[in-house]
Structure 1
Amino acid sequence: MTSPHQAPAAGAAPTPIAYDHVIVGGGMVADAAARGIRERDADATIAIISDDIDEPYTRPALSKKLWTDPDFTWDDVPLGTADDTGAVVVLRTRVTALRPDAHELDTDAGDTYPYGTVLIATGGTPVALPIEGGGASDRVLTFRTAEDYRHLRALAAQADRIAVVGGGYIGSELAAALVQQGVDTVLVHSTATLGADVFPADLADHFAGMFRDAGVELVGGHEVVGGVAGDAGVRLDLEGGATVVADAVVSGLGIEVQTELAESSGIATGDGIVVDAHLRTDRADVFAAGDVAEYPDRILGCRRVEHVDNAEQMGRQAGRNLAGAGEEYTHTPYYYSVVFGTRYEAVGTLDGSLETVEDWVEPLERGVVYYLDDDRVVGVLLWNIDDRTDAARAVLTEDGPVDRDALIGRIREEAS
């Protein structure tokens, strides 16, 4: 077999590189999928084609433990995919075309890969800020990759003031990480109160207070509509005419899902790449998993999930199915965040506009919040409550109308 790193002779056509299974994308889904394949087949050939510059790594650490846990170092970040699974990991390479009928794909390196099965795990591209000169400035960055982490870490060591844009999981974690490094930090977010889009009002007030107490300047109720990056720093222009000035800015506004490869190949897409319960697309031997996959959750219905539990569990199941397992993906994922020593986990839909039932062991410090819609529980928030995600899933499986009084104590007393 020709090595994917071996260049063809001058003037020669690229030599096809055949693999039993090809994984497009090099994130945590790819690692889990390669391990899933190995659970079923010890000998199959596997290629992982990634446009990243690093082999698969644990992505949540980039905004959490690498900043806050001195015992967690960069050596803990790589997942060891190639060594553990024998997969060939091809970095700095983008898949430019997928031909399902021919069972082939092409890369921007000029290689063609015939495959038996292929998994699309392309994830998403972080949303950039509309800042003039931002694309050419090392003071303006998005946050998604290990290289982005290294860039922001270097900025944090030299900048006096850094602005973070976005009040969701990534934005809030980055603001917490930076201020704990002694950086003067300002967090620009679009809600009136930080967290108000996902938490009930009293908890959102408490959440915002955690950031203010730590020294983060909160600029709420504004979106960034423009700005300018220069040699001396960055100016952010906010809707309504206000401005924020900082030495550097990082966007934590989420991702735009990378469905272009599927779309150009004639594969059905919606909110993401549409897959069935076996994680198959509508084309033979083409699967999708992770952030990019729109799948039928057995409890919550059709959805797309951008969190690590889903990446690991769906990736593993996709890998097993690439290798012929034929099993349905039945896991309903949870998601979590950690800021200032507070950990919260959730299953289902968190929407601050929904009716909630709050059940606190210690008010606003440890408890459970249930989110109700159409008289049934559609989401469960576990605030500093450990190991109760299965109990949360059980509540979500129940049909309404919900007995609100019966929710009090149901999960939190068992966790006490």
Structure 2
Amino acid sequence: MADSTHFDYLIIGGGMSADTAARGIRELDETGTIGILSEDVDEPYTRPALSKKLWTDPEFTWDQVPLGTAAATGAQIRLQCSVAAVRPDEHEVDTTDGDVVSYGKAVIATGGAPRLLPLPAGPNVLPFRSAQNYRELRALADRHGRIAVVGGGFIGTELAAALVQNGVETVLVHEGSVVGDNVFPPDLAKHFEQLFVDAGVEVIGGTRVVGGEVTEDGVRLDLADHDPVTVDAVVSGLGITPVVDLMEGSGVTVDDGILVDEQLRTSAQDVWACGDVANYPDRILGQRRVEHVDNAEQMGKAAGRNLAGAGQPYAHTPYYYSDVFTASYEAVGRLDGSLDVVEDWQEPFDTGVLYYLDDGKPVGVLLWNVWDSTDAAREVLAHADSLSRDDLIGRIR
């Protein structure tokens, strides 16, 4: 079948939000044409598996990673297709290959680009965002060499745990004084870091990569206020930057992502946005942009339905989660290690609920090895104005 140059619905981006946007469209419109323009080399897939289950669960195999978007929705997916500009007035998109694709309605689901290290890119210097990045890192890990992970956030810590559990000599370089001190209170952060130390990870904190050199023998990392570190390979786990460059000059308002209203509409007619790139008004927590899978899936579906005429507000407050060694946690709202925290441990550092307070009011809830309680956490945040510190103890079990 020849590629179409017009779609009733055009999805720009090829991640998990793109998948659920197509499925959301199909809930209300069984026949409208759907196009997906993706820079990736793979059709949409379950991204969290790249730093979690594919490394730690032998029963989770590669064939469980693809989402089957095209088969489920009939969407025409163009891979390795980069968008140069969106022109809402003309309802057209320009690709970097010089093609013009027109649409009836469009949704921007471009997600984020990984932050890169100040080193020349190459087979031993990897970003980490895509399935292809996973395949490249897995090939390096299978050699059981010495690999550095740079970054102490969600992706960095998950990758360090994944590598060391697969027999790799692992170095974790991060800017904090303790791993996790930006999101956990001091005692929990110390416990969290100790999990890495006990597993054999070499933890180098309080520094950042400022340069280095790539040679035939490996990679030298030059660190701020620290001796250089030599490894066989290095992977960046420094997070992402929302991909909004293509919106320049489009009339779409950009401010820490793409600003959308409660129905995920941008400032341009017939253009919506969803997922990591969307800065939206959360019904409980206010204006925010969220870079986690629950939001990507739920917001994508809501955007797709609204493209197809649902006209409904996005009312979901997302949660996020991480699995590292024996620590598994879910959270809703804002986790900030500098905030006042009410700790309600059933067993210290094993099972408990932590409430993050700003000006005395709960703004985030951390569920540490506590399950099926994200709705209860949302209720706490929704009623933050009426809850005292004493009200929080024992509230979620």
Query: TM (normalized to structure 2)?
Result: 0.98
Aligned to 2:279: 294
1-structure distance, mates of 2:224, 2:384: 43
Q: Give the counterpart of 1:36 among 24, 39, 44.
A: 24
2-structure distance, mates of 1:323, 1:276: 17
Aligned to 1:172: 157
**SS at structure 1 position matched to 2:195:** helix
Aligned residues: 397
Aligned to 1:18: 6
* CA shift for structure 1 position 109: 3.0
Q: Give the counterpart of 1:153 among 138, 158, 162.
A: 138
Letter in structure 2 aligned against 1:308: V
What pairs up with 1:258-297 in 2 under 5 angstroms? 258-297=243-282
Asked if structure 1 preserves the Cα contact closer than 8 Å seen for 2:363 and 2:384, the reply is no
Aligned to 1:67: 55
CA deviation profile, 1:212-264 (whole Å, cap 9, x unmatched): 11111110111111111111111111111421110000000001111111223
* CA shift for structure 1 position 159: 4.4
State the percentage of identical aligned residues: 63
Structure 1 alignment gaps of length 5 or more: 5-15
What pairs up with 1:117-136 in 2 under 5 angstroms? 117-131=105-119, 134-135=120-121
* CA shift for structure 1 position 107: 1.4
1-structure distance, mates of 2:274, 2:142: 36
Aligned to 1:56: 44
**SS at structure 1 position matched to 2:142:** helix
* CA shift for structure 1 position 3: 2.1
**SS at structure 2 position matched to 1:400:** helix
Aligned to 2:2: 3
Aligned to 1:375: 360
Q: After the TM superposition, which segments of 4 or more aligned residues of structure 1 sit over 6 Å from their partners?
A: none
* CA shift for structure 1 position 106: 1.6
CA deviation profile, 1:49-106 (whole Å, cap 9, x unmatched): 1010000000000000000000000000000000001000110111112110111112
Asked if structure 2 preserves the Cα contact closer than 8 Å seen for 1:159 and 1:248, the reply is no
Asked if structure 1 preserves the Cα contact closer than 8 Å seen for 2:94 and 2:100, the reply is yes
2-structure distance, mates of 1:31, 1:400: 37
Q: Give the counterpart of 1:103 among 91, 100, 117.
A: 91
What pairs up with 1:212-361 in 2 under 5 angstroms? 212-361=197-346
Letter in structure 2 aligned against 1:177: A
1:195 matched to 2:180: yes
Letter in structure 2 aligned against 1:80: G
Aligned to 1:13: none
2-structure distance, mates of 1:389, 1:263: 37
2-structure distance, mates of 1:399, 1:168: 27
Query: TM (normalized to structure 1)?
Result: 0.94
Greater Cα offset, 223-232 or 322-331:
223-232
**SS at structure 1 position matched to 2:156:** helix
Letter in structure 1 aligned against 2:227: A
Asked if structure 2 preserves the Cα contact closer than 8 Å seen for 1:168 and 1:253, the reply is yes
2-structure distance, mates of 1:376, 1:288: 31
2-structure distance, mates of 1:279, 1:292: 11
Asked if structure 2 preserves the Cα contact closer than 8 Å seen for 1:53 and 1:92, the reply is yes
1:88 matched to 2:87: no
* CA shift for structure 1 position 401: 6.1
**SS at structure 1 position matched to 2:176:** coil
Asked if structure 2 preserves the Cα contact closer than 8 Å seen for 1:375 and 1:402, the reply is no
Asked if structure 2 preserves the Cα contact closer than 8 Å seen for 1:280 and 1:288, the reply is yes
Greater Cα offset, 305-314 or 234-243:
234-243
**SS at structure 1 position matched to 2:385:** coil
Asked if structure 2 preserves the Cα contact closer than 8 Å seen for 1:33 and 1:317, the reply is yes
* CA shift for structure 1 position 266: 2.2
Asked if structure 2 preserves the Cα contact closer than 8 Å seen for 1:159 and 1:247, the reply is no
Aligned to 1:162: 147
CA deviation profile, 1:114-145 (whole Å, cap 9, x unmatched): 101001011111011002xx22x211000000
**SS at structure 2 position matched to 1:176:** helix
Letter in structure 2 aligned against 1:396: L
**SS at structure 2 position matched to 1:264:** coil
1:78 matched to 2:66: yes
Letter in structure 2 aligned against 1:160: G
**SS at structure 1 position matched to 2:36:** strand
**SS at structure 1 position matched to 2:248:** helix
Asked if structure 1 preserves the Cα contact closer than 8 Å seen for 2:335 and 2:365, the reply is yes
Asked if structure 1 preserves the Cα contact closer than 8 Å seen for 2:69 and 2:75, the reply is yes
Q: Give the counterpart of 1:387 among 372, 375, 395.
A: 372
2-structure distance, mates of 1:138, 1:58: 24
Structure 2 alignment gaps of length 5 or more: none
2-structure distance, mates of 1:280, 1:217: 46
* CA shift for structure 1 position 165: 0.2
Asked if structure 2 preserves the Cα contact closer than 8 Å seen for 1:375 and 1:401, the reply is no
1-structure distance, mates of 2:394, 2:209: 42
Letter in structure 1 aligned against 2:158: E
